[in-house]
Structure 1
Amino acid sequence: MNMNLQSSSNSPQQDQLRQPLVLAVDDNEDNLQLLAQLLILIECSHITATDGQTAVIMAQNYQPNLILLDMMLPDLDGIEVVSRLKQNPETMEIPIVAVTAMAREEDQQRFLRAGCKEYIKKPYIIEELEATIRRCLG
């Protein structure tokens, strides 16, 4: 009998097979491509959306481990997306990182009050974005 086989869900082999899933939301295709490349580099699976309505539906359908959310989208603004996700029992626990060009302190506080776990300012520094993603997935 092999005593090394354990049914623990925290085994290194299972952790390697199960990459975290990140939903990246941005209406700018270049930004989405950059986020996708970074997520691949840090060994995360990813799905993308280019508008708020699609982001809400994808979050419900795929239950990602993290959402990187552009706060200025063409249909729903980021605050509305966060509000809808936080009101839904299926998505309310998913951490959301606001990705925004709005760098004023009051904007940042508004995003945090709305339910975002953290925020990243555009243009972002890749190392900061990676550290934030890892912290939120932690």
Structure 2
Amino acid sequence: MYLAHSFMSDENKHNIQQPLVLAVEDHDDSLLLMSYALDSLGCRFICQADSSATVLVAKEYQPDLIMLDILLPGLSGIDVVHHLKQEPLTCEIPVIAVTALATRQDRERILMAGFNDYISKPYMIEDLETIIRHNLQGRFRTQLTYELCQD
């Protein structure tokens, strides 16, 4: 087992109006890409590479949304979502599966496991933003990235 590597976005740490997203991904490149996407959307975020600490981090920081890879070493994303949904402090937090598993059967199995939503890799920032907006139910207060480009 390796230690958790978590960090909170520096620029958005003190911006309490924006939602906090916990992103759990074991591949550094994917985690970096996800953190860039979240930062560009104006979210505060915590990135974590170790799934074994996800429930503890979620209980401590109470994120507005969790983005969770499925294929993780140790505890899979499906194992983690089961633990999250059993905890009183985390059971209401929406959890999005972010995965390379892209078949219809994979999607159905993942959603049946307790995830609130699903996005397959690779994803476009607009698709990620749409899923984040949908799952945050109005708590996301920035313009769409593509709207900013049209101004």
TM-score of the pair, normalised by structure 2: 0.78
Deviation at 1:129, TM superposition (A): 0.9
Matches of 2:54 and 2:29, distance apart in 1: 17
Deviation at 1:17, TM superposition (A): 4.3
Determine whether 1:85 maps to 2:84: yes
SS across alignment from 2:46: strand
Deviation at 1:78, TM superposition (A): 0.8
Matches of 2:73 and 2:16, distance apart in 1: 36
SS across alignment from 2:30: helix
Question: 1:61-76 maps to which residues of 2 (within 5 A)?
Answer: 61-76=60-75
Determine whether 1:118 maps to 2:120: no
Matches of 2:96 and 2:45, distance apart in 1: 15
Matches of 2:22 and 2:98, distance apart in 1: 12
Gapped runs of 5+ residues in structure 2?
1-14, 138-151
TM-score of the pair, normalised by structure 1: 0.85
Q: Between Structure 1 and Structure 2, how many residues are aligned?
A: 123
- 1:21 corresponding residue in structure 2: 20
Read off the aligned partner of 1:54 and give its amino acid letter.
Answer: A
Q: CA RMSD in A?
A: 1.1
Matches of 2:16 and 2:70, distance apart in 1: 32
1:65-86 residue CA offsets vs partner (Å, 9 max, x unmatched): 0000000101101110000000
Select the structure that is richer in helix.
Answer: 1
The ranges of structure 1 where at least 4 consecutive aligned residues each deviate by more than 4 angstroms after the TM superposition are none
Alpha-carbon spacing, 1:87–1:17, altered in 2? closer, same or farther (3 Å): closer
Matches of 1:74 and 1:123, distance apart in 2: 20
Read off the aligned partner of 1:24 and give its amino acid letter.
Answer: A
- 2:108 corresponding residue in structure 1: 109
Alpha-carbon spacing, 1:17–1:57, altered in 2? closer, same or farther (3 Å): closer
Deviation at 1:46, TM superposition (A): 0.1
Read off the aligned partner of 1:45 and give its amino acid letter.
Answer: R
- 2:144 corresponding residue in structure 1: none
* % identical aligned pairs: 50
Deviation at 1:110, TM superposition (A): 1.1
Matches of 2:30 and 2:55, distance apart in 1: 19
SS across alignment from 2:42: coil
